[in-house]
Chain A
Amino acid sequence: MIAAPGSGHPGGSLSAVEVLAALYFRVLRHDPQNPEWPDRDRFILSKGHGCPVLYAAYAEAGYIDRALLSTLRKLGSPLQGHPDKRMLPILEASTGSLGQGLSIGVGVALAARMDKKDYHTFVMIGDGESQEGQVWEAAMFAGYHKLANLTCIVDNNKQQLDDWTHKIVDLEPLAEKWLAFGWNPIEIDGHDFNQVVPALEEGRAATKKPTVIIANTVKGKGVSFMENVIKWHGVAPKPDELEAALKELEAAAV
């Protein structure tokens, strides 16, 4: 999918696979036949560069035709390089400029509160994205207003474009930060379904405060030569690399 256009972000897409799979196939209340269902749960991918994994989930769930996946990043495709609601209306938000998705999610959750609706809003942000000040403006607001109908998932893959996050501006202690902002932090292995699903379900069932799931993940997960290698943040695999990567992922799937 990313190899075809020759550009994209494989690392941060692979780190989020299990969370997206758990959301779309176990946790979210949604109906691919009725994407505008007013009572659907919402999922906003704030780390918009990870959109290939979201598009894959849409295809797998039946929102979009699987054949579309090969049009990623190509002229006129609904699968834009970063999520674009104009081109793909089933998206809950357009994202790509980091830091804004949680605030948008706060607005969606506030609307639910005003309308007395029980849908839940999930937002996925990156750990590097958490260096944006706006994330903490949103966290402060949601914590203060006890927006229990909002869950934030931090794809804590510990890397950003330039380097390891701890070598740029370290975010630790991350759980303590969220706790101090009035959230219920749950720290999990973001690749273990037995931890991912219960954490998301706990977030969905919360009644007192918003939930943050710190999903400890590996950037490039599942492809040995991509795992934890900084350059795979935003580089597409070449044909031979693609073949090797798919072979590994297929072997793991069996």
Chain B
Amino acid sequence: MEASAALVSESSRRTMKATPTKLELKMGIATREAYGQALAELGRENPNIVALDADLAKSTFSATFGKEFPDRFYTVGIAEANMVSIAGGLALSGKIPFASSFAVFVTNKGYDQLRMSIAYPHVNAKFVGSHGGISIGEDGPSQQSVEDIALASALAGFVVLVPADEFATRALVREMAAYVGPVYMRTGRPKSPIIYGTEDKFPIGKAKVHGSGRDVAIVACGLEVAEALKAQAQLEEESIAARVIDAYTIKPLDDETMAQAARECGAIVTAEEHLLDGGLGSQVARSVARSHPVPIEFVGIRNTYAESGTPEQLMDKYGLTARHIVSAVKRVLERK
């Protein structure tokens, strides 16, 4: 863990050096697009990798795999429940199925199937929900997934992953395939700022620590990691030393890193593009409540569904930007 923390703090220093006041991250591709590339690459190495989609293959980018391996790719039509159970049958037969749809559909429409066909027999099937969170924008709440992390985390034995950028996604797709058991990964619609590089490793069950600030720890996942890094740079201007923890594994959470952050910083802010009920914040609170209780403030969606709008408008209106993280840090520091 020490080694990975050092590795990442180095990379975050690298990105922050150029613009100390306002952190500018280079824009990369969307995590969903990186998923498609990684899956196709994996398909070339492992003939047991197969893929399913429920009529959103161009949006989830599972089509990248499908184009290259048409015999190992089935789009089941608009039938998510069927897709999830078919993945169960494929896994029982020795395949490693990756089933994709929008996060909101694969977890909500396929939930009983994720439970009985996948989690309960603990089969080796992987699920990737794209268009996580509200940053999908104009399509509105019926397509915006704000509860998939809670739902996936409530499936006994599931691993739940939320990559922050394309490099994390590519690495985690490999981790998913190598891991034997059920996994859910959330990807996003918009382009993601680049945080990592090819040298970064993302073992399941760990988190990545950016910086060694001891005033506050900001624990984030997905697009919120970039927002947290921006907040970290702004806070530095005000002489508040924050460390950012990218909790790319929501379940099992890296309890050791959370405990260390709680002990060394004495205050935590969590940030997620998800309802506050049952998401990252809930997991972090449960973890440090056992190891080292400290005040926590939660940035996330508060007991509501969002609406149509541009991703930027929505992230601002629903309180998910760096500015909101900075305010949460100030609130938590007052409680310290």
Contact = CB atoms under 8 A, between A and B. Distances in A.
Interface of A: 84-86, 92-97, 99-100, 103-112, 114-115, 133-134, 137-138, 140-141, 145
B117 A137 contact: no
Contact of B92 (A99, A104, A115): A104
B112 interface: yes
Nearest to A83: B121
B116 A95 contact: yes
Contact of B79 (A94, A104, A137): A137
Nearest to A145: B74
B294 interface: no
Q: Is the interface of A mostly helix, strand, loop or mixed?
A: helix
Contact of A138 (B82, B87, B92, B95): B82
B82 A104 contact: no
Contact of B117 (A104, A112, A140): A104
Contacts, number: 101
B126 to A, nearest CB: 14
B121 A114 contact: no
B90 A110 contact: yes
Given A94-B120, A137-B79, A104 B112 contact: no
Q: Is the interface of B mostly helix, strand, loop or mixed?
A: helix
Nearest to A132: B81
B92 to A, nearest CB: 6
A235 B101 CA distance: 41
Contacts of B76: 137, 141
B116 A92 contact: no
Interface string B60-84: 0000000000011010110101101
Contact of B93 (A96, A108, A137, A145): A108
Contacts of A111: 89-90, 93-95
A43 to B, nearest CB: 13
Contacts of B92: 92-93, 104, 107-108
Contacts of A99: 81
15 contacts: A84-B121, A86-B120, A93-B88, A93-B89, A93-B117, A94-B120, A94-B121, A96-B116, A100-B85, A100-B116, A103-B117, A104-B89, A106-B82, A108-B93, A114-B95
A107 B71 contact: no
Contacts of B116: 94-97, 100
Contacts of B50: 114
B89 A107 contact: yes
Interface in B85-124: 85-95, 97, 112-113, 115-117, 120-122
Nearest to B84: A103
Residue among B84, B86, B95, B117 with the most chain A CB within 10 A? B86
Contact of B87 (A85, A97, A107, A145): A107
A114 B72 contact: yes
Contact of B82 (A86, A92, A96, A137): A137
B81 A134 contact: yes
Contacts of A100: 81, 85, 88, 112-113, 116-117
Contact of A114 (B71, B113, B115): B71
A26 B32 CA distance: 49
